[in-house]
Chains A and B, each alone.
Chain A
Amino acid sequence: MSQSSDSSNNTPVIKCESVYKIFGNNALKLLENSNGQVDAKTFQEAGCIVGVNNASFGVKKGEMMVVMGLSGSGKSTLLRCISRLTDATAGKIFIDGEDLLSMNSKQLIELRRNKMGMVFQSFALLPHKTVIENIAFPLQVKGTNTRESMAKALEMVELVGLKGRENYFPRELSGGQQQRVGIARSLAVEPDIWFLDEPFSALDPLIRKEMQDEFLRLQAVLNKTIMFVTHDFDEALRLADRIAIMKDGIIEQLDTPDNIVLNPATEYVKKFTEDVPREKVLKIESIMDTYDPNNSSSTKVSKDAIIETLAESILNSKEILTVVDNNNEIVGSLNPTKVIKVIFGK
C-alpha cells in the first residue's frame, strides 16, 4: 500500500490507470465482455451510458490539470471518480500512491478530511449557516474545537477577500461572493489536492474573469495539486499547466496549452483551437529558433512570456531578439516575422 515513502517530485499525486465509469445495471458484465474496447453506441443499446472511457493519466504535485469538455463529455464524472463521490466501474486510482478504490468508508472520510477539498458549480453552500460557519464546517465535522476552527475560518475569509461579511448568510451574497465562500470552505482543512468542478460557470463573464485572476493569485500562493473542470476552452487555456480534452468519456488529447493549440491531435480538438487567437496562448518559447550569436541583438525577452504581451515592442524593434529563461541564460532567438505569422495567419 504505502509507496508514498519514496515519493519524489516525479511520483504523481493523482494517478489514474484505465479508469472506466459506466452507468447502468449490467455495466461491469458488459465491460468484462468487451475486453477494454468500449464503444459508447453498443453500450447505449444495452442500456448503459459510458461516463468515463479508459482514462489514464497522472497529475504531479503543484500541477494544475484542467479537464475540458462539453456537457455530457464525462468531465465531471471523471472528477467524481477521483474524489470517489461515485465509484469507478473499473481501473485503478492512486492518491499519493494509495489505492483509492480499496479504501473503506472510514479511510475515505479521513482522506477527505485531510487531503481533499472541492468547489462546486452551484456553490453548494449550507443555507442555514453563515459565511464563517460554512467555512468552518469541514473543520467542525473533523472535530476541531470551535475557537480553533473559527480562527482558521477567519483566516480563510481574509484570504478570499470577504472580510467584514463573515456573519452574512449565503442568500445575502452575490454569486461571486458565494463562490469565494465555497473556495474558502474547500481550503479550510489545508488540503493537498484541490478539485474544482466548473467553479466559475454559473457566474457572469466579468465576475468570471475577476474570479479567474483571484484563483491564479491564490494558486501562486498556495501551490496545490489541482484538477479543474470546465467547459470553457478559453478558461482552460488561461489557467492550465496541462489540459485534458474529453469527448464521450474519452480523453482526446492531454497536453500543455501550447501544444494543444499548435498540434491538435484530433479533428475534434482542432475545432476548438481554430478560433483561438494564438498570440494570447502561445509563449515566446514555442516560436523561438536556436540561438545564433552572430545574428542577434542585445534586447532580451523571457521565454515564458505570452506573445501578445510583447508583440508591440517586438514588432517595433525590427531585429532578431534574444530569448532568455528565468535565470537570464540565453536559450534561443526570436525572429519578429514569426510573431507576424502567429498574429496574422497561417
Chain B
Amino acid sequence: MLTNFKNSRPQQFSFLFIVFLLLYFLVPENENSLLWRLPPLLKDIPLLINTLLDNLMFKWLTVPVYDPDWQMYEDKPIFRIITRSIADFLLFLIIFIREIFLGGLQTIGSITGGAFKELKWLYLPAVPWTAVVIGLFILGYRLKGLGLAFIASIGFFYVSIFGQWEPTMETLSLVLVTAPICFVLGLSFGILGYLSKKVEKTLQPILNIAQTMPHFSYLVPILVLFGIGDHAGAVATIIFATPPMIRLTILGLKKISPEVVESGLMSGCNRFQLLFRVLIPTARRDILIGVNQVIMQCLAMTTIAAFIGAKGLGFNLKVALNGLKIGKAAEIGICVVIIAVVLDKLSLAWANKQKDYFANLNFYKKNLATIYFILLTTILGVIAYISAFYFEEGFNYLYLIPFGEGLTIAPILDAGVDWIWETFFYYLNIFNKFLITNVLFVMRDAYLGMPVVSTFVLVMGAGYIIGGIRSCIIVGALILFIALSEYWNRALITAYMATFAVGVSAILGIVTGSLCARNEISAKFILGVCDFFQTFPSFIYLIPVILLFGITDTSVMIAAIAYASVPATRYTVEGLRSVPSSLHDAASMSGVSNFQRWKSIELPLAFPHIMLGINQTLIFALMMIVLGALIGTEDLGQIIMGCLSRPNGAGIGLTLGIFVSFICLAADNLIRTWADERKKLLGIE
C-alpha cells in the first residue's frame, strides 16, 4: 500500500489536494492569525530600493565638475554623470537616425555646437518616403524575391499614405538604434557565457528574471536613472531585448559539433581565430535568428516605452486609447502590425539567406542593388525637390505626408464599432455580465479566501512531489518572498486571473493544435498563423477587445487568452508533429482509431513539449494581465501602472515586477523539472 503510494503521482496529488482543501476550510479568516496571512515583514523593500536609487543619483561618490554657465565647480555624483552621458549618447543616435528619415537641424546643430544657427538652409534633408519604399523593395528582392519585395514596399506605402509616416519613422529610429546595441551586447555576453561556465551560471538567473518581469516594472527605475524621453525608452528596450540574444548566442555556440571545434584546433587556430573564424560563423544562423528576435522585441518594447516619453506609434496609440478613439487606435495598430510583419520577414529572410559567392563578379555586379538604390533615391529626391514648387501652398506629399494629413479609415472603423455595439451590445453584455459575476468574481473570492498556509502546502507539496526537496524549497522561497509583503492579496488576484487565462488558453491551444496537427498542410498553416500573431506587440491585443467588451475585466481576460493561446497552440502542434512517423505506422498496424492514436500515443509523447508551451502561456498571460491594468484591473498590474505617475514609484514598481517574475519562476521550476523528467523517461533528447 505504502510503496504503491510512493510510486503513484496521481495518488500523491490527490492526497495533497485533500490536505489543501482541509486547510482551506478549517483555517478561519483572521487577520492576526499567521495561518491566515503572514505579516508584511518585507514591506520596506520598495523604500530601500528608493533610498538606494536616491543615493546613487544624488549623494554617493561626488566629483567636482566645472559648470561653464555658472563659472564654478559643482559636486556631481559619478553615477549620475555616467547615466546621463549614456542617455545623451543614445539620444544623439536616435535623433540622428530620425533626422535621416524626417529631416531636421538638431544633428548638425550639435556637431557644430550651434555655430551656424542663423544659416537656415543648413539642415539634414530627409530621405523622401518614396525612396524608403523603393529601398525596401530592392532590399526585399535582394533577400528573398519579388514576394517579400512587394510585402515590404506596399506595407510602408500604406503607412505613408495613411499619414503615419512621422510616428512610424520615430518608432523605427528607436528600433534601428536599440537593435544593434542589443545585438552587440547580446553577442558579447553570449560569447562570455559560452566560454566560461561561471559567467553562464551568473547570467542564467538574471536572464530568467529579465524575461519574466513585466515591462512596466522597470520603466520607473529607468525613469529615475535616465530621465524622461526617447533615451529612457531606448534603455528600457535594450534591457528587454538583450536577454533572448544572449540565450540564442549561447545556444547556437553550444550546438556546434565538437568535430568542427576540433577541426579548427587542428588547423592551428589560436583562441581568437577559433572564436571569430570558426565558432561564430558556424553558429551564424542561430545568431541571426537572435537578431530577428531582438528586432521584434525592440519593436514591442518601443510601443510600450511610450509610457516613459518615447515618441512614435506607441505614444499615439496610448493617446488614442486614453481618449477611447477606437478607430484611430485601430489604424495605428494596423501600422504597428505592418511594421512588425515587414521587419520580421526581412530579418528572417536575411537570417535564412545562404551566403553567396561573389569572388568571380566584378564591382558593378557585386553592388548592383546599392547602385540602383542610390540612383533611385537621387532621382526621387530631385522629383520631391521639384514638386515642392508644385505643392507651393500646402504640404509636399512626394516628400513626406505629415501626420494626420493622409487618408484615414478611422471614421469608417468608428462607425463599424458603433454598429457592432448597437447590434450586439445586448448579447455581448449578457456574456460579459455572466462571465464576471458567475465565473470571475466567484473565482476571485475563492482565491482571496485562501489561507496562506494552505497555499504554501499546495505549492510546496507540488514542488516536493515533482522535483523533491530541492524544488520544494525553491518554490517555497519564491512564494514566501511575496507572502511577506504587503501585496499578498493583490498577488492572489493576479494568480486567479493567470489561472483562468492559462486554463482557457491551454484548452484552446491544445484542442486547436491537436486538430491542426492532423495533416501537414493545416499544421503549416496554423504555425504560420502563430508566427503572424506572435509578431504583434502585446499592446495591440487590447484594441479589439476594448472595442468589443469595453473597459472591464472580461476585456483583459480575453486579450490575455488570445495572446497566451499562441504558444499553447504552437507547442502542441510542434510536439505532436515531432512524434516519429515509425510510431504512427506501428500504431496504425496495431489497428488504432484516430482518437486512440492521439490519446495513447501522440499525446503522451508530445506532452513534455506541450508543458513547455504551457510554461510560455503562463508568462504571456501574466504579461498581458499586467498590461491589462492599463484598462483597469485591481491586481498587481494596477499598482505597477500606478507607479508610473508616482514620484517614488521606482521601488514599488521594481518590487512588484520581481513578484510577478517570481510567480513565473516558481511555475517554471515545477513545469520544467517535470518535463525534463518525462523527457528522460521517454528517451527524448
Contact = CB atoms under 8 A, between A and B. Distances in A.
A128 B360 contact: no
A185 B267 contact: yes
A116 B266 contact: yes
Nearest to B360: A167
Contacts of A120: 259, 262-263
Given A122-B257, A141-B268, A167 B262 contact: no
23 contacts: A109-B268, A109-B270, A110-B268, A112-B265, A112-B268, A113-B267, A113-B268, A114-B268, A118-B263, A118-B266, A120-B259, A120-B263, A122-B259, A126-B278, A126-B282, A127-B284, A129-B281, A138-B267, A141-B267, A141-B268, A141-B269, A141-B270, A141-B273
Interface string B255-295: 00101101101111110010001100110100000000000
Contact of A124 (B262, B268, B359): B262
Interface of A: 80, 83, 85, 105, 109-110, 112-114, 116-118, 120-130, 137-138, 141-142, 167, 169, 171, 182, 185-186, 189, 195
B355 interface: yes
Contacts, number: 74
A85 B257 contact: no
A128 B355 contact: yes
Interface majority SS (helix, strand, loop, mixed), chain B: helix
Give the interface centre of A110, A116, A117, A118 by most chain B CB atoms within 10 Å. Answer: A118
A124 B270 contact: no
A126 B268 contact: no
B4 interface: no
Nearest to A114: B268
Contacts of B281: 126-129
A246 B277 CA distance: 36
Contacts of B7: none
A85 B357 contact: no
Interface residues of B, number: 22
B71 interface: no
Contacts of B268: 109-110, 112-114, 138, 141-142, 189
Interface of B: 257, 259-260, 262-263, 265-270, 273, 277-278, 281-282, 284, 354-355, 357, 359-360
A189 B273 CA distance: 17
Contacts of B265: 85, 112
A124 B257 contact: yes
Contacts of B355: 128, 169
Nearest to A138: B267
A85 B262 contact: yes
A182 B262 CA distance: 13
B352 to A, nearest CB: 13
A302 to B, nearest CB: 38
A69 to B, nearest CB: 18
A180 to B, nearest CB: 15
Contacts of A189: 268
6 A-B pairs with the lowest CB-CB distances in the bound complex, closest first: A113-B268, A124-B263, A138-B267, A124-B259, A118-B266, A112-B268
Contact of A127 (B282, B357, B360): B282
Contacts of A109: 268-270
Nearest to A188: B267
Nearest to A122: B259
B271 to A, nearest CB: 8
A85 B266 CA distance: 8
B260 A124 contact: yes
Given A125-B263, A126-B278, A141-B269, 7 more contacts: A110-B268, A120-B259, A124-B257, A128-B281, A130-B359, A185-B267, A195-B266
Contact of A117 (B266, B357, B359): B266
B266 A186 contact: yes
Contact of A112 (B266, B282, B359): B266
B284 A137 contact: no
A179 to B, nearest CB: 12
A116 to B, nearest CB: 6
